[in-house]
Structure 1
């Protein structure tokens, strides 16, 4: 993989990191260094914030109180699910019907709609609080060394967005001139997203308005970038233009909800690791073995550039609500796959409630809340976050640490690899089966088992016994 960084973009990042931000506190001007975006990419953990469900209040203010807690988990990027008002026209309920079809008024009030049915790109969803509340959340995150990116929905809007009546030409229309919901280009049939209207990217004026609305949040709320919903359904050249425009304001961090290398070549920093997520699920259920993971890592090396970043995850809002909790999908082995998301190249994701070992599917269209009791899994994430933040051997950004597969006597069952950078080395050894494995691993030396903080001696000529799903993270003594 060859690294592609333009001199101009590198210069902009360096200059931005040297400029100081002035903040008035008690009538005293305090100068602060802005967060270095490129450094965050190397050693950060990303947290997906579901504001509605994060707390009983479901507000920005309630979430802001816990930002120091997230910092302890190693979080350096907060991805906030859509913050915009939700359309009332064609608003969906949990069973898929429109709320307008529900006759009981009290029952109808329960359904708050999908975050991804936006009625106004430049406004705040009132259920979360005010614009000032949101700005305070961003400021608090910055004070804790954390970037904030906002979930943006560029592919479609809700049916009561002003563009529907003011600019119907901004939308895809059928032969009768009627605005339609998004369709599957292969079949010509609706995806079933009937609560939203499909935007027409052939319209240049719409593109300009979209970029203006995105830039508004960078300028007025000082956000640090965007997570782009269904990025693979929006023309790549639009993102190229939009990201260049936002970078005239400040350096931005861009995450694509896609696994598409040309997006990374056109301004995005990080993509979803969808394929490896599904591989995790298959191995966890015994439907695949380590060979599939190895093949994936070889594939990444051929299709991605050295400065491209994968977001690695065991859950997110879609997976939790629609495909099952970690208890359902990984009842006996979530710890080993969670650790793998931190140890492999890329940036690990924590979804709201995951840190508290949430064992239920969060409702998507109505109010719910996550648990807040810390347990062993919280402690594991805290420890993994500390290692990710502090050890350059786990760097996963534009200057990622090396990844080397280590041979074992049972490569199909046991995964072993080495990460190294700046004279630091970390080893990962894991039995990814539900059967005890006696195996030799091509590593010799005395190490510290990072999770248990105990001495760990390994010799490539001696057999190592690994219980089902047992793993070890080895660091220098």
Structure 2
């Protein structure tokens, strides 16, 4: 009997150890996944944020920090949370393009462009943005500098040089800039020091990082905790690498979505391509990733075409899509007045604001909805994206965002013809966001040309 008891006891011990080992293994795997996912801790204030790109040179007739500061309260009233300022630094004179040069040919990482104002003017702008309840991030150009950057004199080893020892552009067309060498640890340290400077000295809230994919990811992985140690920052990568979301960046670009939106709007593709893209993204990006949804921005406007050129009368429904789908919507300087001009990049070419703020009410309504309804919040803070099946899937994009008891339904007509259709079920009473009434979202639906409906509960 004693032998039996011992055998039972030993068996129980073995079983407990096996259970413990499996449990520990699961816990370890879970922690490893969570650690990889939690490498980036998004600032609390970014959970329901929307972003505005400010082109200081073209935003006002004056093209200065002070002139732009006067417009900050209006931008805040529209519901913006983050203002991204295009590069604020002095522009290199050597090999510059046009009469004013490119913002992205930086002459000194620790100075402001005198055309825009002084250090004091810039500090006043940051303070004004903060006083109006928003955050300020600045454009950072880490891959290259202008030909007469201050480093070219004392630190030529900071650059990738030709065999003859000369500076060189990163690509031939970028003839006004020269390529930095990220194999040099001293250059990396100097770059990080410059990035710390604007946070410690001017209290900015983060960076939009130009051509971030051309800079080694391990540099960004070192930068993020170093900046967060000063204050929680928001980092935007001009790229779409999944690994950028793991430890360094809060948000990357939705480049693919931008192009697909245009292709669907033109009739070149059907809405299914957008659904397929999201399926790929949800599979390859870390859980809770955030992308910036673009209808237009500075590059697209200047080099490829205006929002009106791409979307015509469909700008409103496509912006409704960008503002309610998964991700954070972007507004670019002048978009709220439907700027129809391709702004010059290397010259002074002010936005014409005289046509009235034709999209401001639309933007304000959408951004208030995003603030109030957690289903539309960003990343993990927000809700799922679920497609609604319709009888006109080639003509209508319909989806819902769901977070706990909160829900938003969006339906847009992507064609230039009215459409009547049915949806997969009766969704019951919801608030008509643009109508203001509580109505039953029934199976039978209709949309006029370029129509859209948004419902909330």
TM-score normalised according to structure 1 size: 0.85
Query: Which whole-Å deviations, capped at 9, do the CAs of 1:297-331 have from their partners, x for residues lacking one?
Result: 11111011223111001000000111111121111
Provide the rounded CA distance (Å) in 2 between the counterparts of 1:307 and 1:224.
21
Matches within 5 A, 1:204-353: 204-353=185-334
Q: Does 1:173 align with 2:161?
A: yes
Q: 1:103 matched to which residue of 2? A: none
Matches within 5 A, 1:300-449: 300-373=281-354, 374-444=356-426, 445-449=428-432
**Structure 1 position 271, deviation (Å):** 0.3
**Structure 1 position 375, deviation (Å):** 3.5
Match among 24, 38, 43 for residue 38 of structure 1: 43
Match among 439, 451, 455 for residue 434 of structure 2: 451
Provide the rounded CA distance (Å) in 2 between the counterparts of 1:166 and 1:147.
35
Q: Does 1:78 align with 2:83?
A: yes
**Cα pair distance change 1:7/1:403, threshold 3 Å:** closer
Secondary structure at 2:247 match in 1: coil
Provide the rounded CA distance (Å) in 1 between the counterparts of 2:165 and 2:36.
44
Secondary structure at 2:91 match in 1: coil
Q: 2:182 matched to which residue of 1? A: 201
**Structure 1 position 455, deviation (Å):** 5.1
**Structure 1 position 392, deviation (Å):** 1.2
Secondary structure at 1:376 match in 2: coil
Provide the rounded CA distance (Å) in 1 between the counterparts of 2:208 and 2:177.
19
TM-score normalised according to structure 2 size: 0.89
Q: 2:108 matched to which residue of 1? A: 120
**Structure 1 position 9, deviation (Å):** 7.1
**1:41 touches 1:398 (CA, 8 Å); kept in 2?**
no
Provide the rounded CA distance (Å) in 2 between the counterparts of 1:446 and 1:248.
47
Q: 2:4 matched to which residue of 1? A: none
Say which is worse superposed, 358-367 or 446-455, in terms of deviation: 446-455
Provide the rounded CA distance (Å) in 2 between the counterparts of 1:246 and 1:363.
34
Q: Which has the higher helix share?
A: 2
Provide the rounded CA distance (Å) in 1 between the counterparts of 2:357 and 2:104.
32
Provide the rounded CA distance (Å) in 1 between the counterparts of 2:121 and 2:326.
35
Q: Which has the larger radius of gyration?
A: 2
Secondary structure at 2:379 match in 1: coil
**Cα pair distance change 1:113/1:201, threshold 3 Å:** same
Provide the rounded CA distance (Å) in 1 between the counterparts of 2:352 and 2:449.
29
Match among 117, 121, 133 for residue 133 of structure 1: 121
Secondary structure at 2:46 match in 1: helix
Query: Which whole-Å deviations, capped at 9, do the CAs of 1:270-317 have from their partners, x for residues lacking one?
Result: 000000000111111111111001001111110112231110010000
Provide the rounded CA distance (Å) in 2 between the counterparts of 1:357 and 1:5.
44
Provide the rounded CA distance (Å) in 2 between the counterparts of 1:278 and 1:42.
26
Query: Which whole-Å deviations, capped at 9, do the CAs of 1:84-139 have from their partners, x for residues lacking one?
Result: 0000000101xxxxxxxxxxxxxxxxx11100000000000001111111111111
Q: 1:161 matched to which residue of 2? A: 149
Say which is worse superposed, 239-248 or 202-211, in terms of deviation: 239-248
Q: 2:7 matched to which residue of 1? A: none
Provide the rounded CA distance (Å) in 1 between the counterparts of 2:89 and 2:226.
22
Q: 1:107 matched to which residue of 2? A: none
Provide the rounded CA distance (Å) in 2 between the counterparts of 1:453 and 1:7.
39
**Structure 1 position 8, deviation (Å):** 9.1
**1:427 touches 1:473 (CA, 8 Å); kept in 2?**
yes
Matches within 5 A, 1:178-197: 178-183=166-171, 190=172, 192-197=173-178
Say which is worse superposed, 299-308 or 374-383, in terms of deviation: 374-383
**1:346 touches 1:396 (CA, 8 Å); kept in 2?**
yes
Q: 1:31 matched to which residue of 2? A: none
**1:320 touches 1:362 (CA, 8 Å); kept in 2?**
yes
Provide the rounded CA distance (Å) in 2 between the counterparts of 1:405 and 1:41.
25
Q: Does 1:147 align with 2:158?
A: no
Structure 2 stretches lacking a partner, 5+ long? 1-29
Provide the rounded CA distance (Å) in 1 between the counterparts of 2:248 and 2:286.
13
Secondary structure at 2:257 match in 1: helix
**1:429 touches 1:472 (CA, 8 Å); kept in 2?**
yes
Matches within 5 A, 1:21-100: 38-93=43-98
Provide the rounded CA distance (Å) in 2 between the counterparts of 1:125 and 1:113.
12
Secondary structure at 1:43 match in 2: coil
**Cα pair distance change 1:366/1:171, threshold 3 Å:** same
Say which is worse superposed, 419-428 or 209-218, in terms of deviation: 419-428
Q: 2:23 matched to which residue of 1? A: none
Secondary structure at 1:174 match in 2: coil
**Cα pair distance change 1:284/1:169, threshold 3 Å:** same
Say which is worse superposed, 363-372 or 194-203, in terms of deviation: 363-372
